[in-house]
Amino acid sequence: MAFRCANCGQEYDLTLVAWRCERCTGLLNMTTALNFDPAQVTDEASIWRFRHTFPLAPNVMPISLGEGNTPLVQVDLPTTPANETAHSVYLKCEYQNPTGSHLDRAMALLVSQAIQHGMQDFTVASTGNAAVSLSKYLLEANKSGTAHVPINASLDKLATVADSLDLNDTSGQLSSAYEAAEQQAAAGAYYASVAHQPLALAALATIAYELYTDLGDAPAAIVAPAGQGTLLLSLYLGFQALKSAGLTTRIPRLLGVQSDAVAPLWAVKNYGFQAFGLIEENATLASGLQVIAPARGDSVLSALHVSQGEIVTVTEFQIEGGRVMFADIGHPVEATSASIWTPMRAILQSDIDGPVVAILTGQAEG
């Protein structure tokens, strides 16, 4: 296993700390598929029990807050019509990770890797969750950095990052925050970008291994919010690894949810790449979905296609309604996660054959 530039083919070994190709600025991928071996899974109470699947050098010391092992909860949805009852719905409670989001899985690996290879300064662009997660792992490692935040950042969440991260309010949209983080990375900081660092894909794939372990098979379908789409791509790679190991015969149908306000994946899937120029960075309650140019967009769409999945969009009203409904059944999640409520209900009306998993990525603000 190593890393390779998708553009020029330049290869990088497992000591990689760059977030993009140093020769041509291209996107970096893993050179081989993930490899899952049930005999190598340990009994550690974190994602590190799947360490054998990670593209990490053997000398990397884990920095862990106990990420992963999140609850999978079967639910009876309220006011369920008769034709929905044939399906089981499971909620994967990623908001119960140490800092409240699925990003902890990725930050654990990124920070561990970066520190092993001598990085001192860290940078991230974030509306909330990524900065909170990075801050706690840096605190654990006694390191520091800067979080570049957009105008609509979650100030409630960011109130907790100050012990290890300086906040740079860009006063612009999320794209301004990305630009500021890239500048700091160019000056030598480690860019803790879950969307760009290929290691993050291997980290988030651990959700697939946990779902397989808990259900005894791959679920029939998975619904998740899709800003960058990294989570869905990672799930696809994880289930591919399980399938290659002969542990399951199916890849779950992957359903990604975007906001009507900013829906680049949906637009390109339905109208081709010429639609990309029409995407505007409009405001949405679901700040985690306010991504106009997903870094791995083509890979995400390809994974959804192979899984016979789909990208759907929801309105702001549906996002707010989802937040109320999830809270009502005991799962207080942020708006980004709540975006999946309506599509989750819709998939239960389809001819799906087997359990449906909804990924609750982040906890409620405040």
Residues contributing to the site for Zn ion (CB under 5 A): 5, 7-8, 10, 21, 23-24, 26
By beta-carbon proximity to Zn ion, the closer residue of 21 and 344 is: 21
Whole-number Å distance between alpha carbons of 117 and 114: 5
Number of other CB atoms surrounding residue 121 within 10 Å: 15
Q: Are 327 and 191 in contact (CB under 8 A)?
A: no
As measured in angstroms, the least distance from the Cβ of 27 to Zn ion is 9
By beta-carbon proximity to Zn ion, the closer residue of 5 and 358 is: 5
As measured in angstroms, the least distance from the Cβ of 112 to Zn ion is 25
As measured in angstroms, the least distance from the Cβ of 3 to Zn ion is 11
As measured in angstroms, the least distance from the Cβ of 29 to Zn ion is 11
By beta-carbon proximity to Zn ion, the closer residue of 9 and 81 is: 9
Backbone angles phi, psi at 159, to 5 degrees: -60, -20
By beta-carbon proximity to Zn ion, the closer residue of 5 and 338 is: 5
**Secondary structure of residue 220 in the 3-state scheme:** coil
Whole-number Å distance between alpha carbons of 138 and 351: 46
Exposure on the CB side of residue 38, measured as CA atoms within 13 A: 11
By beta-carbon proximity to Zn ion, the closer residue of 23 and 305 is: 23
Whole-number Å distance between alpha carbons of 44 and 229: 28
As measured in angstroms, the least distance from the Cβ of 6 to Zn ion is 8
By beta-carbon proximity to Zn ion, the closer residue of 5 and 235 is: 5
The single residue listed with the structure tokens 């029939």 is 220
As measured in angstroms, the least distance from the Cβ of 4 to Zn ion is 9
As measured in angstroms, the least distance from the Cβ of 120 to Zn ion is 25
Number of other CB atoms surrounding residue 144 within 10 Å: 15
- Starting at the edge strand that comes first in sequence, how are the strands of the sheet with 89-93 ordered? 72-75, 89-93, 356-360, 221-225, 253-259, 310-314
By beta-carbon proximity to Zn ion, the closer residue of 10 and 69 is: 10
By beta-carbon proximity to Zn ion, the closer residue of 8 and 283 is: 8
Whole-number Å distance between alpha carbons of 303 and 239: 11
Backbone angles phi, psi at 329, to 5 degrees: -100, 15
Q: Are 58 and 13 in contact (CB under 8 A)?
A: no
By beta-carbon proximity to Zn ion, the closer residue of 26 and 321 is: 26
Q: Are 300 and 289 in contact (CB under 8 A)?
A: no
As measured in angstroms, the least distance from the Cβ of 12 to Zn ion is 10
As measured in angstroms, the least distance from the Cβ of 22 to Zn ion is 8
> Which of left, alpha, beta for 172 (phi over 0: left; psi -120 to 50: alpha)?
beta
What angle (nearest 5°) sits at the alpha carbon of residue 83, between those of residues 77 and 88? 45
Number of H helices, E strands in the chain: 12, 13
The one-letter code for the residue type at 222 is I
